[in-house]
Chains A and B, each alone.
Chain A
Amino acid sequence: MRIGIVCPYSWDMPGGVKQHIDDLAQALIAQDHEVSVIAPAADDDELPPYVTGAGRAIPVPYNGSVARMSFGFISAARVRRWVRDGGFDVLHIHEPLIPSLGVLACWAAKGPIVATFHASFSRSRAIAVAEPLLRSALEKLHGRIAVSDAARKSLVEQFGGDTVLIPNGVTVARYTEAEPLDGWGPDGSTIGFLGRVDEERKGLPILLEALKSIPDAKLLIAGPGEVKVPKELRDRVTVLGMVSEADKIRAYHSVDVFCAPNTRGESFGIVLAEAMASGATVLASDIPAFRRVLGEGQAGALFRNGDPASLAEEARALLEAPERRAKLAAEALVAVRKYDWSTVARDVVRVYETVTAGGAGRVEEDA
């Protein structure tokens, strides 16, 4: 299939959406599809062969933060030309509600168009003003994908209709090899936590409470936000704050037990999948999503959700049993393959096949 993918955010800035698109494009190319990505990028930027630049990205404040996006006549003309010359069987737009290349592509193209919604947004005044405009863009979408329940919910609440859910993938190979962080390493007593530390549903307070009754264990915390560590735990807890992508992978390799004490939400639990791909032994709360990912305890240990005593008991047992840890980690490496990008890309291709079924024709320029 010839697939055109539209990326709304600057290609030279790291970010979740851009990473998603790059992983997807590479997985599709590996499955012998022809892929062309258009993204905000300057002409002299170094780009992979499958990426076309649509002009320099401009930083603009949008929806509470600053995003680097492309818009204006020049970008519109380039998107139009890319659509016209692309000969795509399907056009895949990411974040079509963002005032960047996605909206431009919706405007310039007709035919089998699919869109993926990444961010959840609240019913802001800005969106309310633009609603008629966005509605007519949405009407052109033959298929809609959301990457999370939150993204799906906010889209459905604002604009109605429904989406299919295809969660993010993990490029397993990227996680399997890494050096532990300097001064750290699995030494039989290190527990790890990753995620927003000040978000109650991520469950860090439960882990801190449990740590009081896991003698001699150290805790390594990575993730943005402010955290209050109880006084008696200060010498056993290290807070790294926000870490780079590379350091995140190294952090997974620095711990004996990776703990995910999330109390709810987590339609899929990408953090869990990343830890599994890194070869860490996982200890997670027994919320439905985690039980599914961990194969009911086959590929990682589970504790009673919200219960520090249960967490502490399981953690102590794991830290005392290196063979069990090794066995769980090996099972996890097998189980995580289901969440590899190659599998996720297969579902995305099924969406493409659905919207191109019958006499849908190709993507054409909409004059």
Chain B
Amino acid sequence: MTSTVIILVVGIVVVLTAVYVSWRAGRLDRLHIRLELAGQALEAALLQRRSTVLLMAGSRILDPATSLMLATAAQEARIAGPEERERAESDLSRTIRAVVDQDRFREKLAEAPGGADLLEELDAAVTKVVYSRRFHNNAVGVTRTAQQRWLAKTLRLAGHTDFPQFFEIDDDPPKSMATE
């Protein structure tokens, strides 16, 4: 009689634990998917920004010095190794600011054929880097917390995934950008 009760209780505990663990694992899995998508979106945004800057540099609308500066910064960011990326992308942000925030830069560019579209494209690219990096770092934060929980650590719920890293750069947009 008592042994039946004990078996029953143990059985219930085992089932509940299994349900709980699988729920935690599912949650962690979902966070990993979100993190992966956020990382892809960030990569896409950075790539888009570099291409737009290169396009601008090659447009023949700007003076050669500005073009050279933009092209160099974009190229540096493109070839930077993992250790150098954050610095190179920050430098690109600073270069964009230095160029776009020149007096009357926007007005002059907008007057040139195709210039207004380029500006619009650059604004979009710069904004998307800001947005995607925020979203990515949010995802990194929650995933880290979830991975470090006692249960996840002990049962290795995260599998072999790496400990996610924040992407820390200066991505402040030019002062003259439309909003904010």
Shortest C-beta distance, A156 to chain B (Å), equals 10
Contacts A161-B138, A338-B178 given: A355-B41 contact, CB under 8 Å? yes
Distance in Å from the Cβ of A355 to the closest Cβ of chain B? 7
> Known contacts A136-B27, A162-B137: does B40 contact A359 (CB below 8 Å)?
yes
Interface residues as binary, B44-76 with A (CB distance below 8 Å gives 1, 0 otherwise): 110000000000000000000000000000000
A81 to B178, CA, bound (A): 39
Chain B residues within an 8 Å CB radius of A136: 27
Known contacts A139-B31, A359-B37, then 18 further A-B pairs from the complex at CB < 8 Å, ordered by chain A residue: A110-B30, A136-B27, A138-B142, A139-B27, A142-B34, A144-B134, A144-B135, A144-B138, A161-B141, A162-B134, A164-B135, A166-B179, A338-B178, A344-B179, A350-B124, A350-B131, A357-B37, A360-B37
Q: B90 on the interface (CB 8 Å rule)? A: no
Q: Does A215 contact B (CB under 8 A)?
A: no
Tell me whether A160 is interfacial, beta carbon within 8 Å: yes
Interface residues in B114-158 by Cβ distance below 8 A to A read 124, 127-128, 130-132, 134-135, 137-139, 141-142
B44 touches A143 (CB 8 A): no
* Chain A contact residues, majority secondary structure: mixed
Distance, CA A166 to CA B27, complexed state (A): 29
Contact B37 A164 (CB under 8 A): no
Known: A143-B131, A162-B138, A164-B131. Is A354-B41 also a contact (CB below 8 A)? yes
Q: Would you give 9 A-B contacts (Cβ < 8 Å), ordered by A?
A: A139-B30, A139-B34, A142-B37, A142-B38, A161-B137, A162-B134, A167-B180, A355-B41, A357-B44
Chain A min CB distance to B41 (Å): 4
Number of interface residues, chain B, beta carbon within 8 A: 26
Task: State in angstroms the CA–CA spacing of A227 and B85 once bound together.
Answer: 56
| CA of A165 to CA of B134, assembled, Å | 11
A238 to chain B, nearest CB (A): 35
Which listed residue (A144, A343, A357, A359) contacts B179, Cβ 8 A? A343
Q: How far is the CA of A112 from the CA of B38 in the complex (A)?
A: 10
List A contacts of B131 (CB < 8 A): 143, 164, 350-351, 354
Residues of B within 8 A of A (CB): 27, 30-31, 34, 37-38, 40-41, 44-45, 124, 127-128, 130-132, 134-135, 137-139, 141-142, 178-180
Chain A count of residues within 8 A CB distance of the other chain: 31
Query: Which residue of chain A lies nearest to B44 when distances are taken between CB atoms in the complex?
Result: A357
Q: Which one of A140, A144, A339, A357 has the highest number of Cβ atoms from chain B below 10 Å of its Cβ? A: A357
Chain A residues with CB under 8 A of B30: 110, 139-140
The reply to whether A354 and B31 form a contact with Cβ atoms under 8 Å apart is no
Indicate with 1 or 0, residue by residue over A329-366, a CB within 8 angstroms of chain B CB atoms.
00000000011000110010011011101111000000
With a CB–CB cut-off of 8 A, which chain A residues contact B31? 139
Quick one: given A357-B40, A358-B41, A358-B44, are A338 and B179 in contact (CB under 8 Å)? yes
Picked from A161, A165, A360, the residue with its CB within 8 Å of the CB of B142 is A161
Q: What residue in chain A is nearest B120 (Cβ atoms)?
A: A346
CB < 8 Å: which of B34, B132, B134, B180 contacts A357?
Answer: B132
> Does A163 interact with chain B (Cβ within 8 Å)?
yes
The residue in chain A whose Cβ has the minimal distance to the Cβ of B180 is A165
Residues on B with beta carbons closer than 8 Å to the beta carbon of A160: 141
Closest to A135 in B: B142
Q: Find out whether the CB atom of B179 lies under 8 angstroms from the CB atom of A350.
A: no
| B44: A residues at CB distance < 8 A | 357-358
In the complex, per-residue mask of A107-125: 1 if CB is within 8 Å of any chain B CB, else 0: 0001010000000000000
CA distance A344 to B179 in the complex (A): 8
A140–B134 alpha-carbon span in the complex (Å): 15
**How distant is the Cα of A359 from the Cα of B131 in the complex, in angstroms?**
18
Pairwise interchain contact A163-B134, C-beta atoms closer than 8 A: yes
Query: Please, which residues of chain A bring their CB within 8 A of the CB of B134?
Result: 144, 162-164
